[in-house]
Structure 1
Amino acid sequence: MHISVKQLKKSFGAFEAAKEVSFEIEKGKLIGFLGPSGGGKTTILRMLAGLEQPDSGDIYFHGQRVNELLPQDRHIGFVFQNYALFRHMTVFENIAFGLQVKKKSKTEIKNRVTELLELTGLKGLENRLPNQLSGGQRQRVAFARALAPEPQLLLLDEPFAAIDAKVRKELRSWLREMINRVGITTIFVTHDQEEAVEVADEIMIINQGRLEQKGSPYEIYKNPETPFVAGFIGESNLLEDISQLKGFSDGLQQAKAIIRPEFIDIGLDKEISFQSAAEHGIVRNVFFRGTNWQVEVEIGTYRLFAYRSLEQETLKPGDQVSVLIHRLYKYNSESTQMMENSLKFDPQPIYI
């Protein structure tokens, strides 16, 4: 299902949940609505589903305006955060519910439910009640029930929020594989960056009712278009004034910047190339992060953190180090700009 949203607005009293939001979604794409809590993600999802009515703007499915259509007439499947399974019904009966409402024959229902039990890995559990299932299994039942009527659009509202971390990670891979097999256009809401990056074909960053940026996870990470996106995606050091940093001072008086930890090398002098572009720093804290060390370093009035490999010599608080900032995002209230350290050069002479 191709989706087109134009100038969508929605307010609850003085709170603006959607501020002239517009976007297009291609058929078969898996889209993640990502952003902080209260940013408007779920409200936009519910307007697509017909569970909320926009104050203004238009929603089109396959070129048809659907603003006035009831939820049951929009050919969608909806998976709620809390599963919303019928507690008195078995797994089979929960999945079959939508087909029974559509008055499908018993043979059609049996065949479709059997197909979905196989697809979702629930075969053998069809006679169990929801309270006899794990959280991950209950969520799979909710997915199967939503898919049973063969919707053209699948909407998921924080589908993994009620599941523990280990199962949540397993379900992400499973969901990605299942959606690829079914080929259904899918939108899911999340505030978990790792989840969005791992699962989605494209991400829409939504903040304070506005669509900040839309693109692939890689595009958004490498080329954030707004200060919010640059600071929200990944981990960041935020500096109010970079005029004292080597390689970034020219014409940047009072400029603000976002520096990602991976933009920074921290080490002993012998480990850091381009010494003319490097700062002198003092290690203030070192934290073990499992796969690396997180090092907090002080450079004059600045405090930055970066990562250091476990294979390198271990640093400790008080160590004097070299700090090479390769690049940063300079930003103002409207846009961001990537800047490279202008003092970096190849220290090795070239002989001809």
Structure 2
Amino acid sequence: MSRLSLAPRVRYLIGRARRIDVGSVVERAKEASAQHHKAVPSIVVDMLWSAARHNVGFQDYIDYDFAMLTRAERETYMTHPVSNQLSQRYDHPDFRWIFQDKVEFDKQFSVHLHREWMVVEEGNADAVREFAQRLGTIVTKEPVGQAGTGVHRYHAAEVEDWEEFHRGLLARGEMLIEEVIRQHDALAAVCPGTVNTTRITAFFDGEKAHILAMAQKFGRGAVSDQMTFGGFYTMLDENGHSVGAGYDSHGHVHEKHPDTGFPIADFQLPYMDEVRAFIDQVARVVPEVQYVGWDIVVSPDGPVLVEGNWGAGVYENKPSVTGIRTGHKPRYREVIGF
């Protein structure tokens, strides 16, 4: 495949220049300076140059410890601006909405969810009550949301007035109700209070889905494992084993899960053969969207689908935590050819 078009990159840089927050850049530079013992002005210059010349987001620079990497090592890291270009090129705009609307997503991918779900509508309070009481605990979602926003968890035993509860769901836009996913014991051993998802970034070439990178997210007992809920992640190798401690974008490093004491580096994702086959299956449902960040959960019976993100985002190694000084960009280039 040909190189990525220059136009999206130019548009990104112009937009970035207009929105640049100098104070935020300096604060990030101070953070990197304290960690890597380099002068703040030199890091600021390096951050700006890396953004303009090498498509490195400011948060990428901090998250992936660019201040301690050589130029050759930096070149191996996938970054958000490059990922955005891939999304724009390989995810057909006429089909992206399926991944943005959680209700439509559940309709399209229903066979791969392996759980019950329903839509909240005017006049179906009794159906909502029956659904919730039968399952005990439910998760509700607003149709459009990201990073875990718009996701809520309710216990049927705590609801006193179902008509009022139903009206509240409608008023808040919580239109989708799902059964709580039961996760595999290997995941529950790390954090039992949150359904811990695996982010698998993959590319479908029209014949086969290729896994580009895998990250295991862990929560802190909240309804979501996203960082906004205190969650963190660790990268997995091609066999589904953690490559080191967990970390987030706020400078927190977790050798062990802070609530259970589980050593993050010991984690092994179960059912890896089934996971690979599963990703190939879901990638074929909407083949026009080729580059996707799939969120799955491994249940006791195998993988189930949570959602797909057409703007895949980036999860990468953190050298100061894992000791690994290379990223996943060579894999992306091998598969996609940019």
TM-score bracket relative to the smaller structure? under 0.3
Query: Which one has a bigger Cα radius of gyration?
Result: 1
TM value normalised by structure 2: 0.26
Task: Point out the structure with the larger helix share.
Answer: 2
Greater share of strand: 1
